[in-house]
Amino acid sequence: MAGILGMKAAALGSRTVAQPPHSSSQSAEPPIRLSHEEFEIYSHARTLIDWTPQEIKHTPPLSKLRPGAKQDKLPMVLERMGENAAAMIAEFRNIACEEHVYSQWSLDRPIAPWQERGQNEVAHRFRYVIIPRSAGDPLMFKEYRINRKGSPVDLESLSDMRFITTGFTRFWAYFNTSNQAQSRFRYFGERTIRKQKCYVVGFAQQPDLARDVTTFEVGARPAVILWQGLAWVSEQSFHILKIETWLLAPRKDIGLESYGTIVNYIPFRPVGLDRILWLPKEVEVRVHYKNVFLRNTHLYSGFKLFRVNVSISP
């Protein structure tokens, strides 16, 4: 059980790891490729792109949706979303913020949405840093945690932290102009959230084209994870207010029954920067791995520009 509850997770383009607490996932990563068996699993998956009107009606995230029967709005919405994402990536600066993480796990039964904190839940506070990578890097951002002295936190040393997740800033990068060819898209309609009218757009990664992937490691056997999901896009600004993702197909071959994430974004304008950056405010992650159910809640606040000062001492 230590290998399961010692899970260290990361999102989109990095690694999601199920491993003993003292092993390391920080080594250099080779290119991630689908195996033949994985390609078969994903290529036969039925995704939200194929949902019927009845399935849409009974999908909780799409409740209160004003359906869009036609796809004529989709090209315009994707174009504007892609432009916004590309502009944010080009102008992104180093960001630091405060992070509160609540991690909970349960054996054999799901964790109810209203379930309060119990003996199987721990909480931690971190200083969270988001740094843009060089142009052309498919991971887009490096996201990590530091202590008050500015040194990276050794997550393996957090013996009570059974499940840690990261990498939510760049979820909107699925819709970056240069990344859109990796996925199929569908326009579902309109819905108001947070007092803003939004277009609701679905996406599903294409197994033969996807480059931005995640791996889920069980011992020495890494599994490539592909995603599908929904984005709520402001009709006024064409920025993403919320993204919900889940597996393109369950990975029953490794015991990964489900893995879902909900990210809520807020606007932040750093001093000296003209463009508004959209950063994660609240995140919920749910995983069902074999007989273990896990839930992480991340809360972010106090966004600031992050500068690194280097001094040389004799």
Q: In this structure, what token pair is assigned to residue 147? A: 């202590």
* CB half-sphere exposure, 160, CA atoms < 13 A: 8
pLDDT at 117: 57
pLDDT at 75: 96
CATH architecture of 2-20+35-303: Clam (2.50)
List the chain pLDDT tens, one digit each, 314 residues: 333 343 444 332 334 443 333 333 333 445 578 889 999 999 999 999 999 999 999 999 998 899 887 889 999 999 999 999 988 888 888 999 999 999 888 887 888 776 665 557 888 899 999 988 766 555 678 888 988 777 888 877 777 766 778 888 878 888 989 889 999 999 999 999 999 999 999 999 999 998 878 777 665 667 888 999 999 999 999 999 999 999 999 999 989 999 999 999 999 988 777 788 999 999 999 999 998 898 999 999 999 987 765 455 55
pLDDT at 18: 39
Q: What is the spatial distance between Cα 107 and Cα 91, in angstroms, rounded to a whole number?
A: 44
Task: Give the pLDDT confidence of 95-124 residue by residue, as tens digits.
Answer: 999 999 998 888 878 887 766 655 578 888
pLDDT at 11: 32
pLDDT at 135: 62
Assign 3-class secondary structure to the chain: CHHHHCCECCCCCCEEEECCCCCCCCCCCCCCCCCHHHHHHHHCCCCHHHCCHHHHHCCHHHCCCEECCCCCCHHHHHHHHHHHHHHHHHHCCCEEEEEEEEEEEEECCCCCCCCCCCCCEEEEEEEEEEEECCCCCCCCEEEEEECCCCCECCHHHCCCCCCECCCCHHHHHHHCHHHHHHEEEEEEEEEEECCEEEEEEEEEECCCCCCCCEEEEECCEEEEECEEEEEEEECCCCCEEEEEEEECCCECCCCEEEEEEEEEEEEECCCCCCCCEEEEEEEEEEEEECCEEEEEEEEEEEEEECCCCCCCCC
pLDDT at 6: 39
Residue 209 CA: distances (Å) to CA of 27, 188, 204, 259: 26, 23, 11, 21
Which percentage of the chain shows pLDDT scores above 70? 81
pLDDT at 47: 97
